[in-house]
Structures are given as C-alpha cells and as structure tokens.
Amino acid sequence: MVFKDVRAKVEKTWTTTKKLLVVMSVWGLFFSLITIARLGVAFDYDDTLVDSSAAFQKAARASQSPRGPDYWRVVNNSYELENPKILPYALAWLSRGLGFRVLILADREPAGGDALKKEWRLLAPNGFVFTPLSEAKHLHLQDGRYVLFLGSGDRDILEARRAGVYAVRVKRGKNRVRFDEYAPHRFGELVLPLSDY
C-alpha cells in the first residue's frame, strides 16, 4: 500500500516535471528567435501605458508658465503619482519576458526626464524616448524591427502605419491628459478591451 502511494507520487511529480520542461523549452525557443531577430514592441506613454493625470495636475498647480521647461520638469519628476494601466502594463512585461525589445515613447519635453527614464529602465533599458512632436514617432518606430505599437490617439495609429508597424489602440480613461483626436475604430484598428483602467 505504501509502495503504491510512493509510486503514484513519483509518477505525478515526473509528469509535472515533464510538462514544465516542455513549457520552458517552448518559451526558450520563442525567446531565442525573438531576441536573435531583434524584434520590438513599442508603447505610447501617457494615456496608454500609464494614467499620468495626477502628475499633470501637480505641474499645472506648481508651474508659472504652462508647457514651459519648469512645467515639464515637474511632470517628468512626478512619476510616483502615475498609475500603470493594468492591461497595457501587463502586455509590456509579457513582451519583455518573451524577448521583445520594449520602446516607450512619451509625448513630452525632456526637461528633467532623466529620473523618469531611470524609473522605467527595467522594462525598457535604453528604450525610453521623449517625442515632443507626435508627428515624429514614425522616425523612432521605423528605426528598429518593431512589430507592434500600442497608442491611444488617432495620430499614434497613423504614425505606426506610416512606419509599417501594426497598431493597436488603447482606450483612454476618464482622467485623460491628452486631448488630441481620439476616435476608436476610426481606422479599422484593433482596440484593446478593458484597457481604459
């Protein structure tokens, strides 16, 4: 009786070990192929990867000149007030875990942005870029082998298509900070469900 119980436990453990080894082998294969091909995934920052409304509100209260260097310095150093959006943030880490290079594009001036870059260095090492002109995002997207771009605005979708990158729209939350054109499904793009939280 005891021998049968021990044998059943050993067989169950061996079966579980084999399944785990298969999963690890498949992950290793994908990781290797993606890394060798140097494929990447890009994310817009504000209203896509994070809800940064509290940082912008703090900058509006603290700065004398709207959209000046002091304003952007306060915004870029108030990252502790920003909340990652659950689904895009999880997709970013999943992409990183599969071997994709992650690029984050922030529609901000770079004043005082070194701390913000450092904050995101684990997810996007050397891949946090300030793009004050949203019309220039395609220049960053076409530089690498990016296969996917997640953005929220109409301009984001157009810039990704201009660079030849597949675009996915992330819904904006109720406390959005960008007020450019925003019409989900306007260009027939995929809209990520439940991405506004």
CATH number for the domain harbouring residue 134: 3.40.50.1000
pTM for this prediction: 0.88
Q: How far apart are CA 100 and CA 180, in angstroms?
A: 29
Residues 102 and 176 both lie in one domain: yes
Range of the domain at 12: 1-37
Pairing between β-strand 50-51 and β-strand 166-170 as defined by DSSP bridges: unpaired
32 shares a domain with 122 = no
Q: Are residues 113 and 186 in the same domain?
A: yes
Residues 130 and 162 in one domain: yes
CA dihedral 173, 176, 84, 48 (to 10 degrees): 90
Q: Sign of the C-alpha dihedral, residues 174, 196, 133, 190?
A: negative
Direct distance between the N- and C-terminal alpha carbons of the chain, in angstroms, rounded to an integer: 54
In-domain check, residue 20:
yes
Answer yes or no: is 158 within a domain: yes
**Count: domains in the chain:** 2
Would you write out the chain's pLDDT as a tens digit for each of its 197 residues?
Answer: 677 888 888 899 999 999 999 999 999 999 999 999 999 999 999 999 999 999 999 999 988 878 888 999 999 999 999 999 999 999 999 999 999 999 999 999 999 999 999 999 999 998 999 998 878 899 999 877 999 999 999 999 999 999 999 999 999 988 888 888 999 999 999 999 999 88
